[in-house]
Copies of this chain bind each other. A is one copy, B any other.
Amino acid sequence: MKVAIAGLGLMGGSLGLALRERGHDVTGYDRDPAEAATAVERGCADRAAASLAEACADADLVVVATPVSAIAGLVAEALAANPTATVTDIGSTKGQIMAAVPAPGRARMVGGHPICGSEAHGAAAARPELYGGATWFLTPTLETDPERLAQLHALVGEVGARPVVVDPDQHDRIVALTSHVPHVLANVLALQVAEGDVDGHRPLDTTGGSFRDMTRVAGANPAMWIDILLDNRAAVLAALDDARGRLDAVSRALEAGDAEYLAQWIGGAREARRETLARAHRTAPADLVDLVVSVPDRPGAISAIALALSANGINIEEFALTHISPESGGEIRIVVAGDAQADRAVEVLRAEGCAAFRAEPGGAE
């Protein structure tokens, strides 16, 4: 596949390394020629282009890997520069970016957001395994061409990430909870302790490991985070309200000396922590089940199916279109992990009006 990557920092550079390791051809572009040169030197791209248009000219896929504030403009430019390429991005918010896509290009744009990163910056710090095991959100709209969604789904899996399909607005509400509010709390904690004064003692001088863990992301990349928080402010405000309500409940329990409440509360957090780890270390290969799904003949039906499965907690391990007629659906093959997910997937797909069956091993061949 011929891939153009716009923005050769840590994220774009690492993606370039991962794609080239797997035999893809990568053209890089960065508005900073020095960064582009470093990227080529480190093997993040086969070559650097002098402009975005030049980078896109020959591409099957364009990945916009710049800070959030520049993404919408570069996506529109890329769609205009190449009339056939699929375009995606790796921005941390999706609603505003997807809403800004010009109408003629909407079928070719699939939003994306890999959940990984590093405290290091730039192509110099790029490494091909950065995306390994990471959730990589894909945010199609109902206008997105399902073949392009399926291609990107496969490519994301190829670099070791776990594609998760959600719609742009859902994405923004999810990351408000899992990423943006944690960042806000890390900043609040860091400042509260830094500005704290206990009769002349500076609490900051006596912090321990748990405080350092919890403030690791504090103050990270101000320019980027101002954009993210403002872009996603509605979802962040709602999630902050929720957090405040939870703090109020803890304060009331402390005032009342309610040990039983605290026990349940800490116990719940313990369960949540266990589940998070189980999810993060999902290393055992689950039994994969193939499903064949006939999709009704209407635009957006395939994206709607991917979104419905995801909303029901079913992750699509693989997602392939077969006998597809563009804009009208056809047949798709979906692979999910485990019998329980397969049964649930069939149920959800039928509720969506699709004929869905388990593929019989060797049956169709």
| Chain A residues engaging chain B, CB cutoff 8 angstroms | 115-117, 134-135, 137, 164, 166, 170, 173-174, 177-179, 181-194, 196, 198-220, 222, 225-226, 229-230, 233, 236-237, 239-244, 246-248, 250-251, 254-255, 257, 259, 262-263, 265-277, 279-280, 310-313, 315
Contact = CB atoms under 8 A, between A and B. Distances in A.
A204 B276 contact: yes
B270 A204 contact: no
Nearest to A217: B210
16 contacts: A117-B209, A170-B201, A178-B204, A181-B189, A187-B250, A187-B269, A189-B243, A191-B268, A191-B272, A204-B275, A210-B216, A210-B217, A219-B270, A219-B271, A222-B267, A226-B262
A339 to B, nearest CB: 19
User: What is the count of identical protomers in the complex?
Assistant: 2
Contacts of A181: 189, 192
A240 to B, nearest CB: 5
Contacts of A272: 190-191, 193-194, 204, 215, 218-219
**Most B CB within 10 A of own CB, among A213, A233, A273, A280:** A273
A206 B244 contact: no
**Most B CB within 10 A of own CB, among A240, A241, A243:** A243
Contacts of A215: 269, 272-273, 276
Contacts of A191: 246, 265, 268-269, 272
Nearest to A115: B208
A166 B202 CA distance: 11
Contacts of A274: 219
Contacts of A243: 188-189, 192, 247
